[in-house]
Structure 1
Amino acid sequence: MTNIGSDERSQAIRDVAFAWAESTGNEILLLVEAGSRAHGFASPNSDHDVRVIFRQPLTRAMALLPGDETVDLKHAKLPFDPGFEVSLAGWSLRRALELGLASAPQFSAAARLTREARPHCAYFADDDFLRRIGPLAAAMAPRPAAHNLRGQLKVALKRELARPEDPKQKIYLQIAQVLLQAEWVVSNHERGWQFPLGMDELMQEVPMASLERRIIEDLLDWKRASPDSQARRRIHALDSWLATSHELLNERIAQIPDAYIAPEIAESIWLTSYGLTEPDLEMAPAP
């Protein structure tokens, strides 16, 4: 077991997460950031959007109805600094492995955050869990990963930018990040799907027109410096760029060779995480 980050805030975030785990009888395997802090464009007063992967007790995990397999704890106050809040969201081990089999980037990106040098990217990791999921992360396929990102982009465009009211400026950064991740996968699928996690590094590797690049860079400067992250503004140039790029993605993704992840990879992780082997799960013959 490894705590990541020895500062007071990191410890406070662990305290919030482990208090939830104790109250629910779950065991935390991974605790990382999932929002702007994870990707290097947090504002001075950004909250902490924390992602957790947890292991349920064996009897609950093996039940026909295993109970809550997600967590969504909103706006827990950090006790030492009431200006910051923590939102805790994530998945059970079963759900996380299902995401891995589907090549969902959220799954392996969460584990990769433990290696990022930026502060407040990760808070806790079970070393055995990180070692076990390595083969599944390596087997994840670029084409379904790109489809997943395109789906995220479609939902965000409809939910955030199709409304008549002006969107929050920071929403443009979040949507642009998903687009650039998808563009990176499409252009670099021979290298795999593991796009840079930091927004600055991602922009360095994905070609962009000068106008959109300048607007995004200005938004990044504003977001990192301004405590007013709720400011609203419609940016028509970005609306057009995001919508057009989204429409072009489907045809480009179709050109990526398809791939298949053997479910035995995830099954092995599942069994060993609970100290089980195949015979342990064999059913008695029917009478």
Structure 2
Amino acid sequence: MTTEIQQELSRLETQHNIQILYAVESGSRAWGFASVNSDWDVRYIYVHRPEWYLQIDDKKDNHEEILPNDIDLAGWELRKALRLFRKSNPSMLEWLDSPIVYQENFTATEKLRELKKQYFSPRSCLHHYLSMAVQNYENYLLKDMVPMKKYFYALRPVLACDWIRVTDTMAPTEFVKLLDSQVTDASLRSEIDSLLIRKSAGEELSEEPRIPLLHDFLTERIAFLKEYAKGLPPLVAADTAPLNALFRETLTEVWGVKI
């Protein structure tokens, strides 16, 4: 599938007259709890030719395309990506940490990784993950019969919140890294590992009776994190100058023109 995805990325470059700087897997495959029938969620950052930017009208700054072979393609134009990076957008930060990389061309993404600490906002990221956890918990996990796979979509953001709270850094993309660092209770870990093995083996996790141990853990952590989030310091405006410089440097590096 990697070859097929790379072929599609090359097609996009030709079709849209762009250069893809970075392309990775996102979602459940990158997180480490995909099933055999999971889609391929390919996310990429691209840059147009310099003349595309030298016009008075704004144009579309993203691409989205779902292919028949379960490949979901979505890309952000570089300026859009940089604006989101400036806001400590968690999706953008996860892309930079994805364990499955299809393309990494030129130096832009490596420069962004070097700037992560400068632009990382615990408040922004923790609120993002907490909202994700609450949504999955309240919408799917409060009934007597619950969709088992939704436990992962509540557990991962809860553990990401705890990682951010403890380390003051962006949470890792892979679920197992969060488990290893944040789950110390042996019974809880055993319950999660059992579900993870079933899902990774391709079992279709349908509705089953609610798991008390996981339910109690999520209930307690979400309540705690809601209170914790109230005390986080407000966002501070980030310095745009380094990102403007990175944008200009990338245009020069990719297209060979001095900006």
- TM-score category of the 2 structures, normalised to the smaller one: 0.7 to 0.9
Q: Could you tell me which residue of structure 1 aligns to residue 11 of structure 2? A: 19
Q: Judging changes above 3 Å, is the alpha-carbon distance between structure 1 residues 151 and 136 closer, same or farther for their aligned structure 2 residues?
A: farther
Q: Which runs of 5+ in 2 are unaligned?
A: none
Q: 1:59 to 1:204 in 2, by over 3 A?
A: same
What is the CA-CA distance between 1:220 and the residue it aligns to?
0.3
* CA root-mean-square deviation: 2.9
Unaligned 5+ runs, structure 1? 1-8, 78-84, 282-287
The size of the alignment, in residue pairs, is 252
Does the CA-based 8 Å contact 2:199-2:205 persist in structure 1? no
The normalised TM-score by structure 2 is 0.82
Is contact 2:125-2:170 (8 Å) kept? no
The aligned residue for residue 55 of structure 1 is: 47
Task: Report deviation, 1:258.
Answer: 5.5
1:16, 1:229 → 2: CA distance?
Answer: 29
State the shift of 1:175 in Å: 2.4
Which amino acid letter does the alignment assign opposite residue 149 of structure 1? Answer: Y
Q: Tell me how far apart the structure 1 counterparts of residues 251 and 139 of structure 2 sit (CA, whole Å).
A: 39
Q: Measured at CA, do residues 254 and 19 of structure 1 come closer, stay the same or move farther in structure 2, by a change above 3 Å?
A: same
**Alpha-carbon offset, residue 203 of structure 1:** 0.5
Q: TM-score when scaled to structure 1?
A: 0.75
**CA deviation after TM superposition for structure 1 residue 161, in Å:** 4.5
CA separation of 1:184/1:25 partners in 2, compared to 1, >3 Å: closer, same or farther? same
* Within-5 A mapping of 1:201-280: 201-207=177-183, 209-226=185-202, 228-229=203-204, 231-233=206-208, 235=210, 237=212, 238-256=214-232, 260=236, 261-275=238-252
Q: How far apart, in 1, do the equivalents of 2:185 and 2:5 lie?
A: 39
Q: What's the CA shift for 1:69?
A: 2.0
For 1:62 and 1:245, the matched residues in 2 are separated by: 49
% same residue:
21
Shift of 1:145: 2.1
Q: Is the aligned partner of 1:70 residue 2:62?
A: yes
Aligned residue number for residue 81 of structure 1:
none
Return the offset for 1:209: 4.5
Map Cα deviations across residues 149-200 of structure 1 (whole Å, 9 max, x no partner).
22333344455547x79654222212211111111111111xxx13333222
Number of the residue aligned with 1:86: 71
Deviation per residue, 1:258-283 (Å, 9 max, x gap):
6643222222222222239xxx99xx
2:46 aligned counterpart, secondary structure: strand
| Secondary structure of residue in 2 paired with 1:275 | helix
- Contact kept, 8 Å, 2:31 with 2:175, in 1: the verdict is yes
In structure 2, the residue matched to 1:185 is 164
